[in-house]
Structure 1
Amino acid sequence: MIPRRTLRIAHTTLFAIAMFALLSACSTMGALLGDDVRFTPMQLQHSLDRNFPKHYDKLGGLVSLTLMNPRLSIPQDGNRLRLDFDVGLGALGSDSSKASGRFALTSALRFDPSTRGLHLLDPRIEQVDVPALGGVMNASSRALLNSWLSEYAREEPVYRFDNSLLDRLGSRRIGTTAIENGNVVVHLDQ
Structure 2
Amino acid sequence: MIVMSRRRWLAAAGIATAAAATGWLAACAGLGNEYTFSQAQLQSALERKFPFSKRYMELFDVQLTNPQLVLDAARNRVTVQFDAAIDNRLFFRQPLNGRFALDSALRYDPASHSLVLQDPEVKQFDVQGLSGQYSRQLNALGGILAEQLLQGYPLYTFKPEQLRYAGMQVEPGTITVLPDGINVKINRQ
TM-score, length basis structure 1: 0.74
Q: Secondary structure at the match of 2:85?
A: strand
1:128 Cα deviation from its structure 2 partner: 1.3
1:142 Cα deviation from its structure 2 partner: 3.0
Q: Secondary structure at the match of 1:78?
A: coil
C-alpha distance in 1 between matches for 2:116 and 2:94: 29
Q: Which amino acid aligns with 1:84?
A: Q
Pairing partner for 1:143 from 141, 147, 152:
141
1:139 Cα deviation from its structure 2 partner: 2.4
1:127 Cα deviation from its structure 2 partner: 1.1
Pairing partner for 2:102 from 102, 105, 124:
105
Pairing partner for 1:55 from 29, 53, 63:
53
The root-mean-square deviation of aligned C-alpha atoms, in Å, is 3.3
Gaps of 5+ in 2: none
Pairing partner for 2:125 from 121, 124, 128:
128
Judged with a 3 Å threshold, the aligned counterparts in structure 2 of structure 1 residues 53 and 90 are, in CA distance, closer, same or farther, namely same
C-alpha distance in 1 between matches for 2:145 and 2:175: 24
Q: Which amino acid aligns with 2:183?
A: V
1:182 Cα deviation from its structure 2 partner: 4.6
Q: Which amino acid aligns with 2:174?
A: T
> Which structure shows the higher strand fraction?
2
TM-score, length basis structure 2: 0.75
Pairs within 5 Å for 1:23-172: 23=25, 26=28, 28=29, 31-34=30-33, 36-60=34-58, 62-92=59-89, 100-134=97-131, 137-139=135-137, 142-143=140-141, 146-147=144-145, 149-154=147-152, 156-168=153-165, 170-172=168-170
Judged with a 3 Å threshold, the aligned counterparts in structure 2 of structure 1 residues 167 and 125 are, in CA distance, closer, same or farther, namely same
Q: Which amino acid aligns with 1:151?
A: L
Q: Which amino acid aligns with 1:89?
A: I
1:172 Cα deviation from its structure 2 partner: 4.0
Judged with a 3 Å threshold, the aligned counterparts in structure 2 of structure 1 residues 181 and 43 are, in CA distance, closer, same or farther, namely same
Gaps of 5+ in 1: none
